[in-house]
Chains A and B, each alone.
Chain A
Amino acid sequence: MKIVRVEEIEDAVRRLSMDVNYYIRDELREAYKKALEKEVSEIGKEVLSQIIENVELAASEQLPVCQDTGVSIVYVEIGQEVKIEGGNLYDAINRGVSRGYKEGYLRKSVVRDPLFNRVNTGDNTPAMIHVEIVPGDVFRITFMAKGTGAENMSRLAMLTPAAGVKGVRDFVLKTVAEAGPNPCPPIVVGVGIGGTFDTVGWLAKKALMRKFGSRHPDPNYAKLELELLDEINKLGIGPQGLGGRITALDVRIETAPCHIGALPVAVNLDCHAHRVGVWEK
């Protein structure tokens, strides 16, 4: 049986909080460069150059890439042969977030109550924590710093089975088209299809947390991911919505079985500062 101590978890989350905000992953930097080669609009190229310059500056001075250092989304996959020792998993994650956001000079962007008492909690806690039990002895934390500019432009629809592929496609395109410049394009698009009302949003978020550029294992969905990416890039929104060919950098779909009468779809958008990191033991 593998043992994971809460101190290790706290420290991993603390480091992930800072690292994802300072350092943009290589595969995403590559995507920016490819986007710059493909973009035809002059202003679009200028924006992409600024994005590239910004991530280099942020990494060299350990500054947050974006001032919206996000709400912390922590997805924990725990192998059923793993034992967590030394305390409470959720408390350890929140201590890691609190320390990471304070020690890393990150912005604290969480209010305790959504409606009546919007007072900042002061340390970016609580994190949004999702735990799943998986086979084996893996212990994996996927950390996402999620800005709200793109989160606010995300949408969910309960389509009917008759809507089919066309219905899903139109809903994704409409969501991206109406979001326009607001989610900080070029964006990354996470699509959840199936499940129920509650699970489909999480599927879309999991799609965003999946490896950049990875394709769905089912070839039908893998093809749909690439077709949607192509069509989104024909919307003309462009970098920062100023017009151009590069509106999205990647589209990823996650799916689940669903009711005979249902076709839930969720579209979760992320900005070009697409901050995800993984720690595994």
Chain B
Amino acid sequence: MGEVIKRITPPLDDKILEDLRIGDKVLITGKIYTARDAAHKRFVETINKGGQLPVDLKGQVIYYVGPTPPKPGYIIGSAGPTTSIRMDSYMEPMLKAGLKATIGKGYRSWGVVDLLKKYKAVYFIATGGVGALISKKIKKARIVAYEDLGPEAVMELEVEDFPVIVANDIYGGDIFEEGVRKYQEITLPFKIERISEV
């Protein structure tokens, strides 16, 4: 596991992705897009119909978040990551459309870990449950699609030094497996199965 802080700006190319390893701390500056359950459903329905997506995903980063509404004078409300595994069944068409990174919390299905390797994309995690803190890294926010979905609308965010950690890299590594292996101090009479959506 690396301990270096790396700075990246989307769109992400192969050179950037090849340099990222699980455990790397990364600061993202630039534009990223939000999408969660309902928006993914529409994205993938659009892709399957051969339609055009409201956002060109090539080289882009999607942040799994549904922020709270901004208070007066604020750019955005609390805006921490949501659980990523719910988006796993939508991953392959999104990766085929050029998506290169996602930000969320929690583990991905093993099927997605394989897809990330196949399509050369990474999965970042941000700290879950610290949405007020994370909101301070967001400098601009505007809705770009599906406004009717309310908190699930797709937004373009301009972020500055947005802190994430590489959880799955293009080499098939998985940060959670390594963490538990290092600290588990109990023998269990059962096998731990990762919940799988893919």
Partner-B contacts on A (CB < 8 A): 40-41, 43, 47, 50-51, 53-54, 57-58, 61-69, 105-109, 118, 120, 122, 147-149, 152-153, 170, 173-174, 177-184, 231, 234-238, 240-245, 271-273
Contacts and interface: CB of A to CB of B under 8 A. Distances in A.
Contact of A54 (B68, B132, B182): B132
Contacts of A65: 78, 129-132
Given A107-B77, A271-B128, A178 B194 contact: yes
B107 A182 contact: yes
Given A107-B151, A120-B150, A182-B85, A66 B78 contact: yes
Given A54-B130, A236-B180, 8 more contacts: A54-B133, A67-B79, A68-B131, A108-B151, A109-B66, A170-B189, A178-B194, A181-B176
A108 B107 CA distance: 25
B65 interface: yes
A41 B183 contact: yes
Contact of A107 (B68, B149, B184, B190): B68
B116 to A, nearest CB: 17
B105 A182 contact: yes
Contacts of A179: 195
A68 B82 CA distance: 8
Contacts of A109: 66, 151
Interface of B is mostly: loop
A152 B180 CA distance: 21
B183 A66 contact: no
Contact of A50 (B79, B82, B127, B175): B127
A67 B78 contact: yes
Contact of A244 (B38, B133, B179): B179
B20 to A, nearest CB: 16
A170 B43 CA distance: 40
Nearest to A109: B151
B179 A241 contact: yes
A180 B68 contact: no
A121 B192 CA distance: 37
Interface in B16-42: 38
B128 A240 contact: yes
B105 A238 contact: no
5 contacts: A120-B152, A170-B190, A181-B176, A231-B186, A241-B180
Contacts of A237: 179-180, 183
B106 A67 contact: no
Contacts of B79: 67
B179 A242 contact: yes
B69 interface: yes
Contacts of B130: 50-51, 53-54, 65-66
Contact of B68 (A41, A106, A231): A106
